Structure 1
Amino acid sequence: MQPTAFFKLLADETRLKSLLLITREGELCVCELTCALGESQPKISRHLAQLRAGGLLEDRRQGQWVYYRLSPTLPEWCQSLLADTLAANPRFLTPAVAQLAKMGDRPARARACC
């Protein structure tokens, strides 16, 4: 992963917040991200596709749902930067985390939104 490509992908607020939420949660589906960020499904899906194409995310299908997680091939320096950014800026995601928390436990969230 070239630093320029990595930072270009992080330059958009929706992509950055999505990536940090996925870093924090381990794995999220599109519906969870739309709820957390208050954005439309097409917008979230478009940004996730860019992150996946850039090698930052990978997805898995479970029935008709698609879940996203950090790519296991993401270089350590990228993972460290995301973890450090998340730890140093807890208020950046406060509204999104609160929205996600309103969805309840992951199984309940999956039934509620997916």
Structure 2
Amino acid sequence: MDTATGEFLRGTLKTIVLRLLAQQGRMYGYEITQAVEERTAGELSLTFGALYPVLHKLENEGLLTTKNEEVDGRLRKYYQLTARGSEIAARKVDEFERFVQLVRLLIVPAPDVTFGR
């Protein structure tokens, strides 16, 4: 992943995590990293160093709840959206989609609409 892609990913990581949790219901950290890699065919990858601070921040903001479960003798922490988290997830995705549309207007040349030239 190049530097620019890393910058874009950092700027959208909160939205990505919220969206994945909205779609999946609940996930644990490694599962989130794997979902990002699988859905982007390996083009994007999350490090735990980037992911866990975002998860903790979302939890502190009241957007996530956590539940520890023992799986194969190991403790696994699952993250799930709160009702408020679900609302924020939908809003963040809408905001991001609108932002992408606006950026596209700036970088994709508009067709020449001047007639008679």
Q: Which runs of 5+ in 2 are unaligned?
A: 1-9, 37-44, 101-117
Distance 1:85 1:60, change over 3 A: same
Judge conservation of contact 2:33–2:46 (CA < 8 Å) in 1: yes
Partners of 1:41 and 1:35 lie apart in 2 by: 11
Superposition pairs for residues 30-45 of structure 1, below 5 Å? 30-37=29-36, 38-45=45-52
Residues in 2 aligned to 1:69 and 1:33: alpha-carbon distance in whole angstroms: 12
2:55 aligns with one of 38, 48, 52: 48
Deviation at 1:79, TM superposition (A): 3.1
Structure 2 counterpart of 1:65, from 68, 76, 80: 76
Percent of residue pairs identical? 20
- Amino acid of the structure 2 residue aligned with 1:36: A
Cα distance in 2, alignment partners of residues 44 and 69 from structure 1: 15
Please state how far the C-alpha of 1:83 moved relative to its aligned partner: 3.7
**Alignment correspondent of 2:21:** 22
Task: Give the structure-2-normalised TM-score.
Answer: 0.54
Per residue, is there more helix in 1 or in 2?
1
User: What TM-score do the two structures reach when normalised by structure 1?
Assistant: 0.55
1:22·1:28 contact (CA, 8 Å) conserved in 2?
yes
Instruction: Please say which structure displays the higher CA radius of gyration.
Output: 2
Output the amino acid matched with 1:66: K
Secondary structure at 1:51's aligned position in 2? Answer: helix
Rounded Cα–Cα distance in structure 2 between residues aligned with 1:15 and 1:81: 10
Give SS of 1:60's match.
strand
Aligned pairs, number: 76
- The alignment yields a C-alpha RMSD, in angstroms, of 2.7
